[in-house]
Amino acid sequence: MSFTGTAFAQTAQEPVSTRNQIVVTAQRSGAPMWTIHTDTGTVILVGEIRAVPESTPWFPDRLTEATGEADRVIIRSRPKISPGDVFRLIFRGGSFTKLPEKGVAADYLDLDQRSRLAALEEQYDKDYDRGSFLMTAFDLLARRLDFDNDTLDDDATDIVRKAAKKADVMIERPERFRGEDLLDNLADAPPASHIPCLEAAMTATEIGPEITEQRGDDWRKFNIPAVMENPLEQALSRCWPWADAQLGEDIRATWIDMIEGAAGANGTTVAVVPLRVLAETDGVLDSLEARGFEIGGPIWR
């Protein structure tokens, strides 16, 4: 498998005391993280959630400091979107935003699901009857629940990326998905496949914005099972692309390959990985543990 960025460098072996100091500095940031120590190096896995509330007390400057002392970092990639992909989205927009063949929500939802959706339509003065379930779920989470309001400007990926660039630390990224492949995957997904996403989004929205702050508090307290069970995190994890079987498998496999590669390299690696990919059942942490890696850090299951 090929990766964007520079290949791992086999530098002179770093003193253990230096690696330990980098770990301590990173841990003092307050973000949940796990460590893998090998004979040649250390991998620090930072469990990232997006949209950390401003009220969540953590110390990004310490993660910046640790990153500046690392040998390499691994951060997520963004999809590779071309101008042609944008045109494809414009011309096929209806297939992403509307139910097919003039279908309506009641054609796919049971009575309880449709009743819950109707109550949200009335509450927010919205008509979701023709909308695709994925777009409806995104609208509920982003505009009605407004989960990304009053959040920190930079997430852990932004912090590590900026620190690595400033300190001239090697940046590695997973291979990016092509925009064309993502759009084709989304267009081919049947409407019913997005119903679990819609249900989870309705549950999160019905509960209200307090779950956003609770998610941030649990993240900061390293209560990883509580974060994973939070209705907002549940909704985000049950929606495309995470919930798509093929895309989800590819995402997990890519992260595992990169972390295994980093574990075999000399020096210290800081990897910022989506928490839901790390801590889910049979996720990256479970897979690494099953492959014999000794993992230190918070309980994740």
Across the chain, mean pLDDT equals 87
pLDDT at 14: 54
269 phi, psi to nearest 5 deg:
-115, 130
CB distance 216 to 53 below 8 Å: yes
Confidence tier at 242 by pLDDT (50, 70, 90): confident
pLDDT at 4: 34
State residue 94's pLDDT score: 58
Tell me, what's the pLDDT at 132?
Answer: 92
- The percentage of residues in the chain with a pLDDT greater than 70, rounded to a whole number, is 86
DSSP-H helix ranges across the chain: 16-27, 60-69, 83-91, 93-97, 111-124, 133-139, 156-167, 179-188, 195-207, 210-220, 224-229, 231-237, 245-263, 275-279, 284-290
Kindly state the average pLDDT of the residues 108-133. 96
For residue 250, the tally of other CB atoms under 10 A from its CB is: 16
Cα 102 from Cα 172, distance rounded (Å):
45
Q: Residue 68: how many CB atoms within 10 A of its CB?
A: 17
**DSSP assignments along 143-178, one per residue:** IIS-TTSSB-S--HHHHHHHHHHHHT-EEEEPPPPB
Distance CA 225, CA 279 (A): 8
Q: What is the mean pLDDT of residues 126-131?
A: 95
The string of pLDDT tens digits covering residues 186-195 is 777 899 999 9
**pLDDT tens string 87-96:** 455 455 556 7
Would you list the domain boundaries of the chain?
A: 4-296
Q: What is the pLDDT of residue 240?
A: 84
Higher model confidence: residue 176 or residue 295?
295
Tell me the per-residue pLDDT of 20-46, one tens digit each, with 9 for 90 and over.
899 999 999 999 999 999 888 999 999
| Alpha carbon of residue 215 to chain centroid | 14
Mean pLDDT across 250-274: 92
Structure tokens at 44: 């620090």
Report pLDDT digits (tens) over 10-23: 344 556 667 789 99
How sure is the predictor about 148, in pLDDT bands with cuts at 50, 70 and 90? confident
Q: Which of 160, 255, 161, 149 is nearest to 212 (CA)?
A: 149
Cα of first residue to Cα of last residue in the chain, in angstroms, is: 30
Beta-carbon neighbour count of residue 12 at 10 Å?
A: 7
Of residues 261 and 82, more confidently modeled: 261
